[in-house]
Amino acid sequence: MRPGIGDPARLNARAMLSGAFAPPAAAGPLSREDIPRMSTPLPTIDQVASGPNVAIPAVPPTPVRRRPVPLSARKTGLYDLNLSDLTDRVTAMGQPAYRARQIYTGAYRQLADSYDAMTDLPKALKPRLEAELPIQLLQPVQTYEADHGETIKALFQTDDGQFIETVLMLYNDRATVCVSCQVGCAVGCAFCATGIGGLMRNLTTGEMVEQVIWSVRMARERGRQLTNLVMMGMGEPLQNYRATMAFIGIVNDAAGLQFGARRITISTSGILPRIRALADEPYQVNLAVSLHAPNDELRDRLVPHNTRYPVADLMATCREYTEKTGRRISFEYALMAGINDGDAIATELAQLLRRSGVLCHVNIIPFNKVEILDFERPTPAQIDRFAAVLTGHGIATTVRYSRGLDIKAACGQLRAEHEGIVPVNSSSTATRDTLPASASIDLDGEAVPGETDVVG
Ligand code: SF4
């Protein structure tokens, strides 16, 4: 056990920020009654930096949120099915197999938003298809534009009342959609609005595909073609692994959207068994690993499951991945003032990456202010300085400024605001003992909502 791991007096940054930390006297899942209900201000960055002596404020009342429908009880939608599965469904309805290809072409080539719009289908079949394989399961609640219309962010409601976000970013040379893969997230990074309320449920394959369909339509309306897809929205894709792989299979399908795997990036906080599994997948997707810190001491506080998958193991797994696939990894580094932006940390990061032998590139992402969290963006001078230290050590580095600052661009911000989510009592304090309560991972590496993740 590394120093500090399992120390009950130790706080992670998120627990400190939420004021939710309590000594883990009682093991096991927390009940709703354990969630503090008094309203007091959040501690400041200085208090966070000062460590466990920070006063422990209670937090505002827990918002009432709708309980998600279990995935096993959810209706299958058209976008959930690849062509082979769709063919099985259609032939089971007594239809010829070619009908499946007609539907698939209508859905992915013509972007039909209803069976009525698929003119080559028999009229009598359409109501049955609509009842058994509905096309639209996501309802747009609000759409926001920023950056002179070049960033479009949508808040969707799922058919069981959950909220998710999708962002389309138009650049001169490309159009990129940022897709969500979960409602909430079990990882609970200290600086992330999505992780604040825990995980509600995984998104289905179809709910992910539907976000892409929305962005293809949005891009077309603006005379553009969607060129890139990043899984950097709400959730941890490698904790929703099966649905994510099925999603990639559908968007990549030559009979459908034909979205090249090399234009798809999966971002992970570092679920090591799933990084290994990804290396064996047939898709040549890009991998981005959210690193955010060069050592366990700091990363434990920022990315709670670092206590389970420490930095040395993460780097070793990344090296395995690059050696096996020959593909470069992008390390994402959210730069936060006074937290992980110092010169010494930059040097330590550069040394770590050089030592690791991982074929890589670093993306520095100056932190996007999240109103409900108390982290700040470094000054432009410090951002440049941090990048210069890395490049000075021979590390390929890019500073990537986030789009849509005026429309709450950070992932999970819109949803958090819409649902009134505030930092609630979290069981994801950074110790091996408490981590499973909110970020339990079954044998397949899938996220399972903990007791505290569903409220209301
Ligand atoms: S940064 Fe990503 S992995 Fe971390 S809590 Fe947010 S959505 Fe989850």
Question: Going residue by residue through the chain (456 aa), what tens digit of pLDDT does each one get?
Answer: 333 333 332 333 334 333 333 333 333 333 333 223 323 333 343 443 343 333 333 434 444 556 777 776 778 999 999 999 999 999 999 999 999 999 999 999 999 999 999 999 999 999 999 999 999 889 999 998 988 889 999 999 999 999 999 999 999 999 999 999 999 999 999 998 888 878 999 999 999 999 999 999 999 999 999 999 999 999 999 999 999 999 999 999 999 999 999 999 999 999 999 999 999 999 999 999 999 999 999 999 999 999 999 999 999 999 999 999 999 999 999 999 999 999 999 999 999 999 999 999 999 999 987 777 889 999 999 999 999 999 999 999 999 987 665 555 556 666 666 555 554 333 333 222 222 223 333 323 444 443 222 222
C-alpha atoms less than 13 angstroms from C-alpha of 294 in its C-beta half-sphere: 19
Centroid of ligand 1 to alpha carbon of 109 (angstroms): 33
Whole-angstrom Cα distance, residue 142 to residue 385? 38
Question: Which residues have C-beta atoms less than 6 Å from ligand 1?
Answer: 185, 187-189, 192, 194-195, 234-236, 269, 411
Residues 6+ apart with CB under 8 A from 441: 239, 271, 447, 448
Which CATH entry fits the domain spanning 137-427: 3.40.50.10190, 3.60.15.10, 3.20.20.70, 3.30.565.10? 3.20.20.70
pLDDT at 418: 59
What's 402's DSSP letter?
P
CA-based max dimension of the chain = 70
Can you list the alpha helix ranges (DSSP code H) found in 254-310? 272-279, 296-302
Whole-angstrom Cα distance, residue 13 to residue 11? 6
pLDDT at 426: 36
pLDDT at 374: 82
pLDDT at 405: 55
- Determine which one of 178, 181, 189, 411 is catalytic: 411
Same fold, 78-132 and 137-427: no
**Highest CATH level, class, for 78-132:** mainly alpha
Centroid of ligand 1 to alpha carbon of 89 (angstroms): 36
pLDDT at 371: 72
Annotation says 236 is catalytic: no
Task: Out of 166, 236, 426, give the residue to mutate to test ligand 1, the one with the largest number of ligand atoms within 8 Å of its CB.
Answer: 236
Centroid of ligand 1 to alpha carbon of 254 (angstroms): 31
| Closest atom of ligand 1 to CA, residue 236 | 3
Can you list the alpha helix ranges (DSSP code H) found in 371-427? 380-392, 413-419
Task: Out of 180, 234, 269, 340, give the residue to mutate to test ligand 1, the one with the largest number of ligand atoms within 8 Å of its CB.
Answer: 269
Annotation says 165 is catalytic: yes
pLDDT at 218: 96
Q: Where are the domains of the chain?
A: 78-132, 137-427
- Determine which one of 165, 236, 332, 419 is catalytic: 165
Centroid of ligand 1 to alpha carbon of 178 (angstroms): 13
